[in-house]
Amino acid sequence: MKRHISIVLLLLISTGAFAERVKVRLFAGNAISILNVSFDLGYYNIYADGNLLLEDMVGDGRSVLIKAEDKMLHVSVNDDDYGRFSSVRLEATDTACILCLNPVGYKQRTYEGNLLVNITQTGKLELINDVEFETYIAGVVQSEIYGNLSDIFRIQAIISRTWALRNMQKHRPDGFNFCDQVHCQAYNNRCIRPDIMLGAIQSSGETLTDADGHLIDTPFHSNSGGQTANSEDVWRAALPYLRSVPDTFSFRMRQSNWQKSIAKDKWLSYFQKTHKIDISNPNNVDSLLHFTQEKRKSRLLGVPLTRVRIDFQLKSTFFSVVYDSVKNVVVLMGHGYGHGVGLSQEGAIRMVGLGITYDSILLHYYTGALIHHDALTNTHYVENYVSQIAQIIEEDKQKQTQVRSKKDDWLGRLFRLRDREEREEIYIESQQDNEQDWQYEW
C-alpha cells in the first residue's frame, strides 16, 4: 500500500492540538460556475456522489473540469465526459499533494489536501478545502502578513491558531469550519514559502490564553497609527486583554498615514441628516471642521467614529479634520489602517526587525494575556523539522538564479528529505529526484 506520512499531522498529534483537519470554503465571496482543476504534485482519486469515478488516479498532465448545470455538477476529465452529479470529491493519496484551482473569471490558487465540490441553492459551485489544521494556519499566515523574518510569521501563526481554535464552529451550520473571507481569516493560497512554514512550525503548541487558561479573542489589524483601540470603542464588549496601548512601532510603515478630502457641504450634511446634528449651531460646525485626535477618541459629537469610518470608507477611525477654506473641503488626516484593536501587524513587523522577542510583542498588544505552551509538544520533533526547513531555505539562497520546476516546491523536497532519513539513505545532490522518492511501496 502507498505510504501516508503527514509531517504536519504528526506535528499536530505531538503538540496535542484540538483539531487535525478543518474544512474551509474557498472563493466564498465569488459566484463560480466553471472550475478547472490541475495538479502540481502527487495524485488524487476522484469520487462522484460518494463513488469512485475513475479506477486510475489523476495527477500532473491531467485536468478535471467541473461545470454548474441545472443545479448539478457536470464533470469531465481531459475532455472525457463522465456525467452529472450532486457532489464531487478530489481526495489526495498522500500528504505531499498540490492541486491548482482555476475558476473561470478568477485568479488561480493552489491548495493542499482534498477538495469538496457541491452545488449551492443558487446553482453555483461551492468549493471546500478539507485540509490539515496546521497546513491551513500556514496558508493563513502567508495570506495575512508580509515580511522576511521567521518571528513575524510565528507571531501571526499564534494569533491565527488561537482564533481558529476558539472559532472552530463558526460556519458549522453551513457544513464547514471557516471561509476564506476577512470575517474569518484570509486563506488565499497554500503556503508556498518555506520561511513562512518555518515560523508556523516554530510556533507549534503555542496559543494565547487568559489567566484562567481560556483562549482569548485575538483580533489584529494592519497598522494602529501609533495607538491601539479599546475593544469597547469598536465593538460592544470591554475585554481586559484588548486595551488601548501606545504603539510608536507602527510609525513610518506602509500604512502609517493617509488623507482623504471631502466637500464641506457633504461632510456637514452627513452629520445633519444621518446623525441629527444641529449644524445651525456654530459650535457644532466648528467641532466638525476642526476635530483633532492626538490620542484615540471613539466619538465625534456623540457619533461613533466606527460608523463614520464605514460610511465614508475610511482606512481607520484615528483621524483629525482640517478645513481648507480655499477649496471648501475638509481634509481628514488619518493614521493607521484597520479597526485598531489588538495586534498591529506593521508594528509587530517593526518590533521583530528591532530584535524584540516574539513573546514580548504579543504581550505588548494583548494586555495581561499568557502564551500557553502545550505540555504535549514534542520539542525534538519540532526542532527536527525546523532544521530541515532551514536547510531548504539555505539551499534556496544558494540557488537564487536557477530556474525552478514544480519538483522544487519546498513540500516535495521536505518529503524526499524526510523519506531518505527514515530509510537511512545518503543524499547525493546529483541524484535525480522524482515523485517516486516519497511514494514508494512498503
User: Tens of pLDDT along 371-381?
Assistant: 999 877 667 66
Read off the pLDDT of residues 277-315 as tens digits, 9 standing for 90 and up. Answer: 999 999 999 999 999 999 999 999 999 999 999 999 999
How much of the chain exceeds pLDDT 70, in percent? 86
- What was the pLDDT predicted at 418? 58
Pick the residue with more confidence: 428 or 104?
104
- What was the pLDDT predicted at 441? 34
| pLDDT above 80 (res 272) | yes
- Count of residues in the chain: 442
Q: Are 203 and 11 in contact (CB under 8 A)?
A: no
Distance CA 271, CA 267 (A): 7
Q: What is the 3-state secondary structure (H, E, C) of 91-118?
A: EECCCCCEEEEEECCCCCEEEECEEEEE
- Specify the 3-state DSSP secondary structure of 165: helix
| pLDDT above 60 (res 414) | yes
Lowest mean pLDDT among 3-12, 163-172, 191-200: 3-12
Among the listed residues 154, 26, 167, the one whose alpha carbon sits nearest the alpha carbon of residue 99: 26
Distance CA 69, CA 80 (A): 17
Q: What is the 3-state secondary structure (H, E, C) of 411-437?
A: HHHHHHHHHHHHCCCCCCCCCCCCHHH
- What was the pLDDT predicted at 402? 63
Pick the residue with more confidence: 297 or 398?
297
Residue 19: pLDDT band by 50, 70, 90 thresholds? low
**Phi, psi (degrees; rounded to nearest 5) at 6:** -115, 110
| pLDDT above 80 (res 2) | no
> Mean pLDDT over residues 356-377, rounded?
93
- What was the pLDDT predicted at 417? 62
Pick the residue with more confidence: 96 or 260?
260
Lowest mean pLDDT among 136-150, 154-168, 391-405, 424-438: 424-438
- What was the pLDDT predicted at 410? 73
| pLDDT above 60 (res 6) | no
Contacts of 67 (CB under 8 A, 6+ apart): 33, 34, 35, 73, 74, 76
From the number of C-beta atoms within 10 Å of its C-beta (0-12, 13-18, 19+), residue 76 rates as middle
How much of the chain exceeds pLDDT 90, in percent? 74
Q: How many CB atoms lie within 10 A of CB 356?
A: 15
Would you give the distance in Å from CA 338 to the centre of its chain? 16
> Mean pLDDT over residues 133-152, rounded?
94
Helix axes 379-398, 194-202, angle to 10 degrees: 160
Among the listed residues 5, 4, 3, 7, the one whose alpha carbon sits nearest the alpha carbon of residue 386: 7
Read off the pLDDT of residues 76-114 as tens digits, 9 standing for 90 and up. Answer: 999 899 999 999 999 999 888 999 999 999 999 999 999
Using left for φ > 0, alpha for ψ between -120 and 50, and beta otherwise, residue 175 falls in left
| Global pTM value | 0.86
| pLDDT above 80 (res 182) | yes
- What was the pLDDT predicted at 168? 95
- What was the pLDDT predicted at 321? 98
User: With the CA atoms of 377, 383, 384 and 386 taken in that order, what torsion angle do they form, in degrees rounded to the nearest 10?
Assistant: 120
- What was the pLDDT predicted at 164? 96
- What was the pLDDT predicted at 381? 66
- What was the pLDDT predicted at 393? 83
Alpha-helical (H) ranges within 303-441 are 305-312, 345-353, 358-365, 379-398, 410-422
Among the listed residues 139, 141, 149, the one whose alpha carbon sits nearest the alpha carbon of residue 349: 149
Place of cell 497598522: 223
**Phi, psi (degrees; rounded to nearest 5) at 82:** -115, 5
- Report the chain's mean pLDDT, rounded to a whole number: 88
